[in-house]
Amino acid sequence: MELQVTKPDDWHLHLRDGDLLEAVVLHSAKHFGRAIVMPNLKPPVTTTVAAMAYRDSILKALPPDSIFKPLMTLYLTDNTRPSEIKLARNSGVVAVKFYPAGATTNSQDGVTDIFGKCFPVLEQMAEQNMPLLVHGEVTDSSVDIFDREKVFIETILEPLIKKLPQLKVVMEHITTMDAVRFVESCREGYVAATVTPQHLLLNRNALFQGGFRPHNYCLPVLKREVHRQAIISAVISGSKRFFLGTDSAPHYRTRKECSCGCAGIFNASVAISLYTKVFEEAGALDKLEAFMSFNGPEFYGLPRNSTKIVLKKSPWRVPESYAFASGEIVPMFTGEMLEWLPCDI
């Protein structure tokens, strides 16, 4: 069995820099036409100049004949200026990422009060039609980690959208039925969500299967089965509000398997097989192409990719790990058999 689909894009990706960038970028470039590249480097990508330099280093890490296109983002801080947004827009930066300070990897320079100093920047973004990409979790240590997305929606996202309805917002890597309901309740074309393979395939039991599983640890953390089911229903509904964003977030094995392991799942090499698995198991393969290849570009006002890929039902084993000169990376579904193999035509 074979399935031809328009080449997908990844609307949420961590490519890192230096050795790690060189190690992982080919996996994304092999499978995706474009990717929105997250700016949470050390130091973060807070200016247009830094975003352009980062883009150059990504392009340099690719083979000369690659047509993979990195789409760049800026990291929002309390000190970002509205003039930076204009400059970014004119330089081809596609979006701005909002990390609540302390929410996740390299978010320490993130926003402390989105309704305060940042507001003129958000107004400028709405004017420039520049989407805000949101890591939707509160950071209050008194809020249970499994409730942080829901509380973020109630206390930050809903009020923000009421105050600035013209702002385009992507709720990244949604993990709850609350997020699904919220996104569905908003104006189509203004609020959308990316969905990862891990939040479609795993519930929080996967963190503790026969012992602690650091390679299934990401943020927002995996949730209960009812939430996973709600996210599956959302993506197979055919709604344009949901699209592919892997949140592939590589960390070296040594940084995952240690006393304070990093959050992030490396899935760039398996993502398309995994999304296909989800849609097949839900009897919704007819909805897969729009989710992977149409809804994202439509939201961002970009053309669809013009090339196609073929998904072959041809079992293959996910490598246990990928070894690079700089270290080893363990992929999602390490060592397991997958049914669908994505191939170029």
Rule CB under 6 A: is residue 26 a binding residue for ligand DOR? no
- Quick note: the x/- pattern for ligand DOR over 247-266, rule CB under 6 A, is --x-------------xx--
Compute the chain's Rg from CA coordinates.
Answer: 19
Q: How far is the CB of 42 from ligand DOR (least distance, A)?
A: 10
| Exposed/middle/buried for residue 265 (C-beta within 10 Å: 0-12, 13-18, 19+) | buried
> Which amino acid, residue 213?
R
SS3 122: helix
Phi-psi label, residue 301: left if phi above 0, alpha if psi -120 to 50, beta otherwise: left
Distance of CA 208 to the CA centre of its chain: 24
Q: Is 215 a catalytic residue?
A: no
Q: How far is the CB of 218 from ligand DOR (least distance, A)?
A: 3
List 171's β-bridge partners, or say none: 134, 193
Judged by CB under 6 A, the residue of 28, 104, 176, 216 near ligand DOR is: 104
- Please compute, for residue 196, the number of CA atoms within 13 A of its CA located in the half-sphere on the CB side: 30
Q: Is the peptide bond before 44 cis (omega within 30 degrees of 0)?
A: no
Rule CB under 6 A: is residue 110 a binding residue for ligand DOR? no
Rule CB under 6 A: is residue 302 a binding residue for ligand DOR? no
CA distance 64 to 313: 31
Q: Is 344 a catalytic residue?
A: no
Rule CB under 6 A: is residue 139 a binding residue for ligand DOR? no
> Which of residues 98 and 275 has its CB atom nearest to ligand DOR in the complex?
98
Q: How far is the CB of 64 from ligand DOR (least distance, A)?
A: 28
Q: Is 12 a catalytic residue?
A: yes
CA distance 77 to 98: 8
Q: How far is the CB of 211 from Zn ion (least distance, A)?
A: 26
Rule CB under 6 A: is residue 48 a binding residue for ligand DOR? no
| Exposed/middle/buried for residue 254 (C-beta within 10 Å: 0-12, 13-18, 19+) | exposed
Q: Is 97 a catalytic residue?
A: yes
> Which of residues 256 and 277 has its CB atom nearest to ligand DOR in the complex?
256
Residue nearest to Zn ion (CB): 247
Pairing of strands 337-344, 308-317: antiparallel
Helix ranges restricted to H, the chain? 18-31, 48-60, 82-90, 119-128, 148-152, 158-163, 177-185, 197-201, 225-236, 253-256, 271-281, 288-289, 295-300
Where on the chain is the footprint of Zn ion (CB under 5 A)? Answer: 247
Rule CB under 6 A: is residue 135 a binding residue for ligand DOR? yes
Q: Is 31 a catalytic residue?
A: no
- Quick note: the x/- pattern for ligand DOR over 200-229, rule CB under 6 A, is ------------------xx----------
- Quick note: the x/- pattern for ligand DOR over 59-98, rule CB under 6 A, is ----------------------------------------
> Which amino acid, residue 276?
T
> Which of residues 14 and 241 has its CB atom nearest to ligand DOR in the complex?
14
Please identify which of the residues 7, 31, 135, 150 carries the catalytic annotation: 135
Please identify which of the residues 7, 9, 10, 12 carries the catalytic annotation: 12
- Specify the DSSP class assigned to residue 100: B
Q: How far is the CB of 313 from ligand DOR (least distance, A)?
A: 30
Q: Annotated active-site positions, please?
A: 12, 14, 97, 135, 173, 247
Binding site for ligand DOR (CB under 6 A): 14, 40, 104-105, 135, 218-219, 249, 263-264
